[in-house]
Amino acid sequence: MSKDYYKILGVEKGASRDEIKSAYKKLAKKYHPDVNKDANAAEKFKEINEAASVLGNDEKRQHYDQYGSDFVNQGGFQGFSGFDSTSFRDFDDIFDTFFSGFGFQGQRRGKQRGSDLRYDLDISLEEAATGTTKTIELEKNATCDICNGLGGHDIETCSTCQGSGAMRRQARTPFGVFQTTSTCSHCNGRGQIPKKTCKKCHGEGIIEISETLDVKIPAGVDNNSRLRLTGKGEGIKNGISGDLYIFIQVKPHKYFERQGDDLYLDVNLTFSEAALGTSIDVPTIDGNAKLKIPQGTQPGTVLKMHGKGMPHVNGHGTGDQLVKIQVEIPQKLSKKQIELLKEFDKEHKKGFFERVFK
């Protein structure tokens, strides 16, 4: 069955070469097996390459437009000969080497990078409101401070990459031959190899340490807010340290419920307070504040206290506090209270009938 290569790349039949190239780069980045772990990604990636190999070649495209994919691929689709997806270490490598431009001829040299670390940090709602500094202790691998991560001394040039720190490969694509560059695995991009092994790290280039860090928490953070401490992650031999990511967890509060930058609070009033109106002290995140209760306030009424919520994490403005009124109905009444309520009820009904039947 003939394949619709234009549909596969998401372009019109009259698409220009640049449009085809752009569509191919976008889809290849999305479905590359080193990035997309879906079970069907590899097959989709192959299909995209097949479409690009035809539409990117003027002669093949002309034959395809006339006779379809079955005629064009009589000899079988060969893909990108020379292309080795295993040379890509991460998304940055894929993007920089495979997608940064067809005909790319530059040389890329870079150190390998240690793993990123995650640390979950619990704080109170009050700490989230004002900001705070927390001290944490971290067990991790770090670059050896004696050999600076080289694993030894008396450094010589790496024989694998000849000191460049990078390995170059050529790949044939529908748009021509281009060169990819990846980090040398023998020296991890340093371009140098030690002759003598470091006694402290035993040639590993990393050591286990316990590190104490002071983490500054900005005001306004919420659950799953993420802070990055550059270079505080895992160390790696002949490379640079990864980053440490602090994930904030704000503990539930006794009184307040948070929604975005607004705080919600339930307040109980007596029947008389709700009916007559009053002024009460209510808790806020930074202490008690006065709240005016209008006469005749009904159960479920929500009153807003402007600017009494959480600060915006970017430092501009503050949320509100919303107070939901709950009216307490007494379960036990004195004789006098009963008489007063009956009198109230009598007057209330009298007024009601006068309004209806006058």
**Do 218 and 133 reside in the same domain of the chain?**
yes
Specify the CATH number for the domain of residue 17: 1.10.287.110
Residue 339 lies in a domain: no
Domain ranges, residue 322: 256-328
**Do 190 and 246 reside in the same domain of the chain?**
no
Interval 228-258: pLDDT, tens? 999 999 988 777 889 999 999 999 999 999 9
**Do 10 and 67 reside in the same domain of the chain?**
yes
Interval 329-348: pLDDT, tens? 888 888 898 888 888 777 76
Average pLDDT over residues 72-85: 41
3-state secondary structure the chain: CCCCHHHHHCCCCCCCHHHHHHHHHHHHHHHCCCCCCCCCHHHHHHHHHHHHHHHCCHHHHHHHHHHCHHHHCCCCCCCCCCCCHHHCCCHHHHHHHHCCCCCCCCCCCCCCECCCEEEEEEECHHHHHHCEEEEEEEEEEEECCCCCCCCEEEEEECCCCCCCCEEEEEEEECCEEEEEEEECCCCCCCCEEEEEECCCCCCCCEEEEEEEEEEEECCCCCCCCEEEECCCCCCCCCCECCCEEEEEEECCCCCCEEECCEEEEEEEEEHHHHHHCEEEEEEECCEEEEEEECCCCCCCCEEEECCCCCECCCCCCECCEEEEEEEECCCCCCHHHHHHHHHHHHHHHHHHHHHHHC
Prediction pTM value: 0.56
Higher local confidence (pLDDT), 345 or 210: 210
Residue 298 lies in a domain: yes
**Do 186 and 133 reside in the same domain of the chain?**
no
**Do 27 and 52 reside in the same domain of the chain?**
yes
Higher local confidence (pLDDT), 77 or 48: 48
Interval 259-310: pLDDT, tens? 999 999 999 999 889 999 999 999 999 999 999 999 999 999 999 999 999 9
pLDDT score of 188 more than 90: no
**Do 264 and 313 reside in the same domain of the chain?**
yes
The pLDDT score that the predictor gives to residue 7 is: 92
Number of independent structural domains in the chain:
4
Specify the CATH number for the domain of residue 218: 2.60.260.20
